[in-house]
Amino acid sequence: MAFKVNINGETRELDVPGEMPLLWALRNDLGMVGTKFGCGVGQCGACTVHVDGVAQRSCSVPVASLEGAKVTTIEGLGESELGRALQQAWLEEDVMQCGYCQAGQLMNASALLARNPAPTARQIDAAMSGNICRCACYTRIREAIAQVAAKGGKVDA
């Protein structure tokens, strides 16, 4: 039985066991490898996607739970102005070192700013505490999020 899941605005058919985590359906069946595998147990946040606008760990979301839901992945982040503003700030601040966790960081940061456009420093830390960056680019993650918030989530011309 194939599951129908809306991913980045497109309905995709997934002929996989319903208990398969979204992460592996994305990466291995759909070839959408922007969403990253880090720990498999919801500890690191590398696999963060949005399900109906809420940040979720795709390694722990079964495909069967997604029928009728709208999933956004890193490949769809640039569809929104907030997403593009974050991508821009990430480059301007040169946030990353290895970059592997950054898809998850960006997805979580965009969910944060969508629900709280002007977070305090403490709120940024609290919201981002589920995302590990092993290179420890945390100082720059903080700065990039604060910068986007200060610009009201808008892209620089």
User: Which residues of the chain form contacts with another protein (CB under 8 A)?
Assistant: 16-17, 20-21, 23-25, 27-29, 31-41, 43-44, 46, 73-75, 77-78, 86-87, 90-92, 94, 96-103, 106, 124-126, 128-142
User: Other CB atoms closer than 10 Å to residue 54's CB: what's the count?
Assistant: 11
Q: How far is the CB of 152 from another protein (least distance, A)?
A: 20
Contact (CB, 8 A) for 56 and 48: yes
- Coil, strand or helix at 140: helix
Q: Which is nearer to another protein, 37 or 69 (CB)?
A: 37
Structure tokens at 27: 């990466």
Residue 95 Cβ, how far from another protein at the closest point, in Å?
8
- CB of residue 57 vs another protein: minimum separation in angstroms? 12
Q: How far apart are CA 13 and CA 3, in angstroms?
A: 6
